[in-house]
Amino acid sequence: MAIEFYRKMSDNDVNAIVAYLRSVKPIRNQVEKSTYKIPLPEAYGPPVTKVPDPPRGNKVMYGRYLADIGHCMECHTPMAKGQLDMTRVGAGGRELPAIPGGVVVTPNLTPANPDGISHWTNAQVKDSITKGVRPDGRALVRLMAFDWYKNIEGRDLDALVAYLRTLKAAKP
């Protein structure tokens, strides 16, 4: 779970998710009581008490917020010592299981990738996110949730691309 990123979710967005979950018709079945047995990392920090709404007027800041709660960077940031290496946000290089089998290495979204999105047009980046296609028409791996991302509103997609354009060059 993308705890590091979800800690940044605004109170209003958390409340909207809770309202949605409460609107879903319950399914009655017996399950064991859930327990959380994984120790929190030291970098987890103190409990979150209040998170304001993101500044929608600032495209880059709002785009970063969307990338965080969409946990884009959880997959597109390399690991170091068992944790995300936040000094190389967007550098990719993560090995993830692919369906029906195999491994996918996440691409580097930073300018350090000579074939990456920093060399694509905004429209091409948007198509990769929402349609799962590269500029040459080849399909991206179905690991990304294109079926959900296709519904991102235009201004939100513009903000997400604006944020991606600010990533610092980094190698996986």
Q: Are strands 95-97 and 79-80 parallel, antiparallel or unpaired?
A: unpaired
Q: How far is CA 115 from the centre of its chain?
A: 21
Residue 27 lies in a domain: no
Residue 43 lies in a domain: no
pLDDT at 6 over 80: yes
Residue 82 lies in a domain: yes
Residue 93 lies in a domain: yes
Q: What is the mean pLDDT of residues 24-36?
A: 90
Evaluate whether 103 touches 163 at the Cβ level (below 8 Å): no
Residue 25 lies in a domain: no
- d(C-alpha 30, C-alpha 73), whole Å: 36
Give the range of the structural domain holding residue 69, as residue numbers without chain letter: 3-19+52-164
102 versus 19: the higher-pLDDT residue is 19
pLDDT tens string 84-134: 899 999 999 999 998 778 899 999 999 999 999 999 999 999 999 999 999
Mean pLDDT of the chain: 91
pLDDT at 168 over 60: yes
Cα R_g (the chain), whole angstroms? 18
pLDDT at 1 over 60: no
Q: pLDDT value at position 46?
A: 82
Q: pLDDT value at position 61?
A: 97
Q: pLDDT value at position 142?
A: 80
Look at the pTM and tell me if it is higher than 0.95. Answer: no
pLDDT tens string 31-74: 899 888 877 777 677 888 899 999 999 999 999 999 999 889 99
Residues 6+ apart with CB under 8 A from 75: 94, 96, 106, 143
Residue 121 lies in a domain: yes
Residue 169 lies in a domain: no
Residue 69 lies in a domain: yes
Number of domains comprising the chain: 1
